[in-house]
Structure 1
């Protein structure tokens, strides 16, 4: 009886862990150019979760590269339900962001137009990762958004507030300890007190994300001047919300942080759309508030193709084999050299001893009747 109870409890815990390992993935199309299929409420793709490798394969195809050969037939079917059928019309630029600790109902709210109109699917997080397989570093430029911002100035805080339509009131007694006020769409205002450690750490993560996005746009401007423009992948993660949930002195600030983040992401994507002239697609992976993820889910892999010589020499030759090959090659080289030398000497000899007479056929005025 105890064994049966043990198996029942184990299966229950296993099912609970599987239920908690479900996130969401949103594919955001360009407003000026269609690279994705239009979302539909009757689409079967909505009911069956995607796997993380399938999300990575979708990003690879959007960058203009073939999906990995390990992709199953079911995975290929899901890709066909996301992407348009024209393989020659890809954006070759993807903005991919993993967000930890954000509830799915808040993301798909009608007030959040960016995600409300997106192509959405649930995704099984499990133990795998979003492996994005790329052919070569020369063919694609990978820009990371995970670089932390070591320090910032009050001028940068002012610029960030103005960018979001807010304001920053500095503290006269201590620098970088003012109040950052950001308005939301429903009329509410999120006040970040930079004197509080929780607010300051969350704001610094937002500053870092905004700073890295500007660096990515600057790098895109430089790459656009190149003769052979590579594909571009802007990839990173944001764990500011999850960090708020793990702090005991957050006092419910995580909900306001979610709303502020969801107000910032449309601004970021609009800026990228302007910089890339509509030739970019957004992929957002939300792993949910209860998902205990300590490492980023997105993993970029370069699978450079080996040369034909590497493919031929699969076995390491022995010393005897190497010596025999060297002997044969040297023998052929010497024989070829001797034959060419003899032919050259004979040709010179016959040229020097050629009689100096006119050829009757070439130099005579022959009349053909």
Structure 2
């Protein structure tokens, strides 16, 4: 028969391809079809797919099928172009031989690079530099995960692992591999800094990496977790009770503070920092932030926020500082959604030794106790600073 005819109903034959009495058994088809996910080029839309839909609907009308559509979900994959931006072609000499790449860099590195290039439904361009970068990263993953101490995970690491399990799983299910890889890389970098991880979390990390880097993860799983195949183990489950938004937000604040110090150092062209003065936001700004979040929960509203704050005597005392406070608070509202009030002085004292090691003397001052003009710039979770 004509290939177009056969390709229009092959999905009905596959589940029952040994049947010599009929094209397919209705009961078997009820168990297997319709197809959950179809992946193919966009060019199929006006050719194969339209014929497959016609056959399905015709067979439905004839009583052979009890569903309307052959494929419940459609995903059109993009095309990988050569480094010159053109479609790969022998005549153009821009073809990349995967066997050569695998020999030089490994299959896992190639897979990691391809998944990182772009969204799977977008066209992408091959890059030798990208391949080198992927190879180095996969080598680092293997090295760190081969040697990291298996013991216990910090509360912060537990939170990050479970958050990534949740978000990365959603990325995989929705073909957002490149976005998922970004989350995975960030988590791995944090794990490398921690230097210790629980065996349970370690196992979860290997499983998250496994769809992209199946070879090194299989080897590491056998060597460090259990002598079974990771490929047939269960996918890690997110324990949402271990996700601590506030703790992660505090960690972001410390990282942001460090970046702010480095940025000021660069702008001021200071070779070596002798002292950093950190001014912590006063209590009234934390109270005001609660009102800003409440008033602007549906949409940003400067006027309504100003009215709400100035109707309270406590905030009237700070009249001249209210307006400069509201605008950045509204602009950065999403940054503050999960932020709860905490003692910034205590939090900064905890990381003070680490900051002092890098930047010298660290002085932590409550803004209300200082006459420095800069102190008025202190914001909840974002101290103002002076560098000497």
Same fold (TM over 0.5): no
Q: Select the structure with the greater relative contact order (CA < 8 A; seq sep ≥ 6).
A: 1
Higher Cα Rg, which structure: 1
Whichever structure has more strand as a proportion of its residues is: 1
Q: TM-score, normalised by structure 2?
A: 0.19
Whichever structure has more helix as a proportion of its residues is: 2
